[in-house]
Structure 1
């Protein structure tokens, strides 16, 4: 029986197989997750095989190596790479999280049994939409030298110049370079004649689909136009000052200004009082007639009241805090436990989430949960308590809060695209955005509560420190992609202190 089992094992190990690659080319946006599919045909059990993923033909410098039922990750990809397939069924697909521009390239799926091996290649493209082109120009005789620059693209973009009629303009002066993050910077220039077109545009794009465009309309005579505009501006300003001064002078002369009018009324009251003093009454006036004339001495009191009125008018009103307009868009949110990572615990009321087993060496820094509510239009505002100082003397060591387009339905395909915009905090690193440049945000205030304002109509997401009456602004994501968004919360993995969605009044 032992001999039969060994023979069967050797037969399985020596079986020939091929590798099936459904997509020879995969394209995913910066910061998202890529799935590189690779499987055995027939679907043999690959648990006893060697599986090696390496990049750009460098066999020794592997991305991930599976051997003797153990997985070894390259230090550059640690915590971001894993085998997600069912090895028993021959699925050796690779998952790569938090894509950077350096992750792009050709990946090789290499599988080896005792006596057979196969390999197949997959090309991964990491897309990054760069900055809006900046256009500038200089005089060059009868023509103008127009320059177009843009930064932060992946892969290499194309540059297209067009005139006001929409016709593409020929050009050959385009230069490309890369920054420290291997993102592409582009600069292009061309000679342009004012008589050819009223304006020209420069478009930088990826496959003519994802693009950024800017236009420029050089003035026909810069200096004459400059002085003309300066003269007109000076003339308008002078006329405005003269007219304003004349109106104020007329109002003062006619006593129509409040303080001047009040002083005149006070002076008139005093004069009226002096003209009605009792000693100026006729000597033959009877007592009854004198009593009937007593109200005429009232202007003395009226003068005092008038003076008090003048004082109240002159006093400046106390400043008041203006209530932020977005507070009227408050919404109540509830967390969806079905979307929570395994290491997270969602409260019964669906308002708070915490990490059950804190571990600073966890592969995933920000396991998360999303809300049941979804937003695709209009404006919405909610607040998240990230530090309850009444029960926790020390602030949280890490957290991440924002929005995501990734649905909380489990039916979503693993490789489908998601959009995440969030602010993250780590002890020692501070507050930063989740974008590829990890922009740090300096703030001199300790934060207990974070306010989020999602404007689907203007495609923006803003963050505020709500512990300050003025709602100190922290950061705004502009031009976020259109779609359906869900609130995104992660308590981090460095402590067990929860973060909570506050009820909105």
Structure 2
């Protein structure tokens, strides 16, 4: 009998001595603003935690927890800022959840204020333990917007603006992807949402650089970059003596060529033919590629796709031709108080999730004045309800170039930045490089790369069009001609920059 009593007491002592340990990872968790993060925490040795008390709390706010689990359910005792944002979840698909001692915390709609330490506290009837998990919150800001402004000394001052960063990003200027440029200055400001806006600038000469890029990056390695072709926007210097000499020689050459043509074809002016002309049969010249500006349009057209308007998601005040290529506003449409009617958006029926895709839009129809009001770009699939300017930003799935009549041409950003593009494009080329996260625009007639917007595309995107309401001319999507075969590469990817 005494032996039995001793055995029972020993077993009771062993049972009350058994305890668990709370285990958390040593590395901090990193997540973006607005995303979902799981903070791992489990007990060892594994045991069913459904009957235990689980409390997640910040700093010394034990009595005002992020989440409090007791008596088999989550209690209504909670810090208000985490209400409807916190829950218990499994750390991995292999985890059995609470039954296996997994007490990990799931946080939704992450905020800057969530950065810092979280305590995972677990207690039973006679034992308890806790661990500390560290969370780093970051925000990848908007694609930088570049704005060129000519200086009196002939150089170009380029400003670079971006917003929505956390923590403060590093700014790097590059020339032609090789030389690091020294910024003229960098200013940072912090908004009410605690995220940073950055404004930097630098001055360059068109003789020293062709492409100039501005990138903003976080310590995590994530970055946003935009580039600009300053040759396309910097004005020529009429005082340059070499240019004066060039134009003088050009005029002389043209005069000489005119005289030669008149001499060669003088018989046509008199109605007579030479014997050589009658007998000679000349072979046709092989068609060659014309390169006037800095961009080989034929190489861009190798990526051409047929674009038509999606009539299913068409604004009721827009009219589309039967072939789906021409769009204009309906005559009965009554404009609102805003000058540019942002709600009159049409979308391409085609969707892209990878690769390069190129299309062209005509902005100057014959016998009609050129269009001054238009909007062209791409939109994330599903974002088919555009109402005002504030809703059309890259963070909300819109990337475009817009011409707002006398107000100029600008890139959509928050706030928008007006560009100095001369001459105004009469035929616009658009190249979407989905995989590299780049949207480039070209002046097809001048064969010039205008600018490139850099972003990170997710899901499918579709072409975006808005014909405006102040023009007689419609907006017309062109069928690109067959490109001429060539072994030349796409220009240095200034077209993809």
**What TM-score results when the alignment is normalised by the length of structure 2?**
0.42
Normalising by the residue count of structure 1, what TM-score does the alignment of the two structures yield? 0.42
Greater C-alpha radius of gyration: 1
The structure in which a higher percent of residues are helix is: 1
Higher relative contact order (CA 8 A, sep 6+): 2
